[in-house]
Copies of this chain bind each other. A is one copy, B any other.
Amino acid sequence: MKRVWNFSAGPAVLPVEVLQKAADEMLNYENSGMSVMEMSHRSKVFEKIIKDAEKDLRKLMNIPENYKVLFLQGGGHLQFSMVPINLMKNKVADYIITGEWAVKAYKEAKKYLKANILASSEDKNFTYIPKLDNLAIDPDSDYVYICQNNTIYGTRFTELPNTLGKDLVSDMSSNILSEPVDVSKFALIFAGAQKNIGPAGTTIVIIREDLLRDDLPDFCPTMLGYKIHADKESMYNTPPTYGIYICGLVFKHLLENGGVEAMYEKNLAKAKILYDYLDNSKLFKGTVVKKDRSLMNVTFVTDSEDINNRFVKEATEAGFVNLKGHRSVGGMRASIYNAMPIEGVKALVEFMAEFERKILA
């Protein structure tokens, strides 16, 4: 069986050990006589799966006791609505605009409150992270919102904005579990699972308990209140059981392999290999300001659209797939999430170097 090197931005590569375990257990999970897909979410065996997943995520991220962990549906897009609906009091919030997902979150928030643009890097096609000190935080702001790693543009926040004590909300869909974060600095963290965790269709929310409210606006659909999901421990309705199971397997796999610290070291090493090559290449170049480069999504181009296309085509044929960049940036993007082995990055760089020699010959 030949597996490819999969640089997809998401849904994305998963640890092969996790997939193998899922395959082995597909017809009979731990002697239950059934697949995890076939289990009542109210059964003891599934209850252990979801409780273990939560416990392991708490351990991996060192989540404080006063935060709830929720397994929801709807992806980042539903969070773009749930965040303002659940967090608004003064009906003002501050958004830092660093890419398409932050823009979408901002536009959705404007349905519900006065959303300020606190800072933006749109002037240079989101190739950098704006300055984060001296931000004009609105005194009435209910929260400050960031998208911490920008999948499309290949940037990341290496420090957090000074919110002057206001609550910080972060979309961590593409960097969760890739680097250590101090959860206590955030009011709410959310992440679609499909980049660094598991299958699409499961959304992780980590929310400080004091933000859970009963007094939601009248129009709020019951499913869009965080508190009911927290009160029911993600079992208000049938959760995406199989997705949660796979997330749990990934969490265990990370714990067995040194946790987030070890992942971070590996991710730094992987990114360094790729960026070092780009910085020395005469054909390829990175698209992002060096200090703001993402560890997860490495965006790069050549000077020629034709050569870009030829590179993507030949790479695909050689088993390096999903390297085409997002249409907003063009060129190429290599997403190198936790589950991408260092060997995959080394092999990609070797292929790029060979391609470069050929083109520049």
Contacts and interface: CB of A to CB of B under 8 A. Distances in A.
A319 interface: yes
Contact of A6 (B38, B74, B200): B38
A11 B40 contact: yes
A19 B35 contact: yes
Interface residues of A, number: 70
Contacts of A136: none
A198 B37 contact: yes
Given A73-B201, A202-B201, A240-B201, A27 B20 contact: yes
A111 B219 contact: yes
A173 to B, nearest CB: 10
A33 B319 contact: yes
A243 B241 contact: no
A23 B23 CA distance: 4
A14 B28 contact: no
Contacts of A325: none
A201 B239 contact: yes
A299 to B, nearest CB: 16
Given A38-B13, A81-B223, A201-B240, A3 B19 contact: no
Contact of A78 (B1, B9, B77, B221): B221
A218 B85 CA distance: 13
A26 B37 CA distance: 14
Contacts of A74: 73-74, 78, 223, 237
Given A22-B26, A77-B236, A221-B221, 20 more contacts: A2-B28, A6-B33, A6-B38, A8-B39, A8-B43, A11-B39, A11-B40, A14-B35, A14-B37, A14-B38, A23-B23, A34-B321, A37-B200, A73-B240, A75-B237, A80-B223, A111-B219, A194-B238, A201-B242, A221-B224
Interface of A: 1-4, 6, 8-14, 16, 19-20, 22-24, 26-28, 32-35, 37-41, 43, 73-78, 80-82, 85, 108, 111-112, 192, 194, 198-202, 217-219, 221-224, 236-243, 246, 319, 321-322
24 contacts: A3-B34, A4-B32, A8-B43, A11-B39, A11-B41, A11-B238, A11-B241, A19-B37, A23-B24, A23-B27, A37-B200, A41-B200, A75-B237, A77-B222, A80-B221, A108-B222, A111-B218, A192-B238, A200-B238, A201-B201, A201-B202, A219-B219, A221-B221, A242-B242
